[in-house]
Amino acid sequence: MKYVVVTDKSVEQAVADVAAAAKEHQFGVLHIHNLQQTMKNKGVDFANECQILEICNPHKAKAVLMADMSLNMALPCRISVYAENGQTKIGMIKPKAMLAALSDSKELLAVAQEVEDTTIAIINQAK
């Protein structure tokens, strides 16, 4: 259900490269959550760097929402870049697996497969 790769890049560089790759694949970056900074702002010491990019292709999102508006809860796609055990990792929950847990629509599974193929390409390009 997860897709995770290891990169030799820093978290900051990997985040920048994911954002650039997303744009090349017609996905926009809606927001980047800096989990470590957010935790620090809440008074929680969290050692691992972790940034979560919310990305979206509006045409794919519209196709999903037109078929089942309740799936807005599964959008947008998220790609995480984080440090763990001295390594930088880039990962996501696979869209097809997530959607399969929420819907049995063959049409939506086809859209999820397209999104999954593209988001894997984004991650691989950024690593």
Q: Which pLDDT tens digit goes with each residue over 11-64?
A: 999 999 999 999 999 999 999 999 999 999 999 999 999 999 999 999 999 999
Q: What is the pLDDT of residues 98-116, one digit of tens each?
A: 988 998 888 899 999 999 9
The pLDDT value given to residue 104: 87
CA dist., res. 110 & res. 82, Å (int)? 29
CA 115 centroid distance within chain? 11
Superfamily of domain 2-126: TT1751-like domain (3.30.310.70)
CB 74 within 8 A of CB 83: no
Please name the residues in contact with 59: beta carbons below 8 A apart, sequence gap of 6 or more.
none
What ranges in the chain are assigned the alpha helix state H? 11-24, 35-41, 58-67, 95-102, 106-126
CA triple 92-94-95, angle to 5 deg: 115
